[in-house]
Amino acid sequence: MTDRISLDDHLGTLDAPEGLKTVLRVVAGACVDIRKVVAEGALVGALGASGAVNVQDEEQKKLDVISNDILTAALLACHAVAGVASEEMETVQPADHAGDYLALFDPLDGSSNIDINAPVGTIVSVLRAPQGTPTEADFLQSGRSQVAALYALYGAQTMLVLTTGSGVKGFTLSADGEWRLTHDAIAVSPDTKEFAINMSNQRHWSEAVQRYVDGVLKGADGPRGKNFNMRWVAAMVADVHRILMRGGVFLYPWDRREPEKPGKLRLMYEGNPMALLVEQAGGKATTDGTQAILDVQPEQLHQRIPVALGSANEIDAYAGV
Ligand code: AFP
């Protein structure tokens, strides 16, 4: 086990600015701290609602708040970070010093899983910072501008999956608290027989999404000519991890429930970092099967988008229905 390369050693060999490596080390350390609180749950009084709602009008869990505080404090104390933005904070928080990077995050993705001891995770996107104190507009860079994206998955194992724009690597947290490389060159298989969508929203979907799902549900007896399996963890971080490990598609399409909202998931700290990871692993990450998430020009910090990502040939099939 200990002969496996550590995240620290990996970052040491990376052809990237020292400031970026520092940011990634800080994020990785904060994820270890979040993991500790997540793992202890009720023992440290961390389960349940915080009593507040966030800017998305969603009830915050105590662990949302705790995780947000841990990441925000760690990143704002990092000399390389000029500012942060989070799902849990209305607007951006500049650091009280200059820095070369901006970090955006969903500190604890999958909050509804917290109290049932199901997987949750942290998602982080890193962008270059402009000169001077960053404003909200400075964070509105397209996903292609990301210099790094990662998630930590607090599951049966604790894993950190990282891209700095040249492939995707997975690290597992060892018993002695060290991230160690366990998954080199993660690749999404181009074909799959697995799909992930919240079926309870079926009646709200567009005709095209209805047709696609109808086709996969018909399995070998339908137009696709093969049987599909369905999975839905209700934490994007865990659903995307499954796709990186064994292929599949993850769909959270626009639906008719709230027509003014283009989807449920957030572009800046869910869609973009996951899209960079999926593309770097050879998959496709789109809004509708064709438009790359990474090419969407953000207009708002908490902007929502439809998401269709995963195995490339299956995303093409989704686009073609
Ligand atoms: P929370 O972090 O608020 O629990 O949201 C999780 C999430 O944004 C994403 O991680 C899941 O894929 C999706 O919502 C689950 O949505 P459903 O509630 O429709 O299952």
Query: Measured in angstroms, how far is the CA atom of residue 235 from the centroid of ligand 1?
Result: 5
Q: What's residue 298's pLDDT?
A: 98
Angle, helix 272-280 to helix 236-246, in steps of 10 degrees: 10
- Which mutation among 236, 239, 272 tests ligand 1's pocket best, with the greatest number of atoms within 8 A of CB? 236
Cα 320 to the center of its chain, rounded Å = 26
Split at pLDDT 50, 70, 90, the class of 66 is: very high
Distances in whole angstroms, Cα of residue 230 to Cα of each of 152, 195, 217, 239 = 23, 5, 9, 11
Q: Is 225 helix (H, G, I), strand (E, B) or coil?
A: coil
Encoded amino acid at 301, one letter: L
35-62 mean pLDDT: 91
7-183 CATH: 3.30.540.10
The per-residue pLDDT for range 180-196, each reduced to its tens digit, is: 999 999 999 999 999 99
Q: Kindly give the distance from the C-alpha atom of residue 233 to the centroid of ligand 1, in angstroms, as a whole number.
A: 9
Q: Residue 2 has what pLDDT?
A: 65
**1 pLDDT exceeds 60?**
no
Residue nearest to ligand 1 atom 19, measured at CA: 198
The pTM score is 0.97
Check residue 52 and give its pLDDT: 86
What's the CA gap between 283 and 249, in Å, rounded? Answer: 9
Whose alpha carbon is nearest atom 12 of ligand 1?
Answer: 236
Distance 203 CA to ligand 1 centre (A): 18
Using an 8 Å Cβ cutoff, are 268 and 104 in contact? yes
**Angle value at C-alpha 51, between 239 and 269, nearest 5 degrees:** 35
Asked if the model's pLDDT at residue 56 lies above 80, the reply is: no
Q: Is the pLDDT of residue 165 over 90?
A: yes
Q: Give binding residues as ranges.
A: 87, 106, 108-112, 198, 264, 270
Protein fold of 194-319: D-Maltodextrin-Binding Protein; domain 2 (3.40.190)
In the chain, the percentage of residues whose pLDDT exceeds 70 is 99
Instruction: Tell me which residue has its CA closest to atom 18 in ligand 1.
Output: 234
CA 53 to chain centre: 21
- The CB of 243 under 6 Å from ligand 1? The reply is no
User: How many CB atoms are closer than 10 A to CB 165?
Assistant: 13
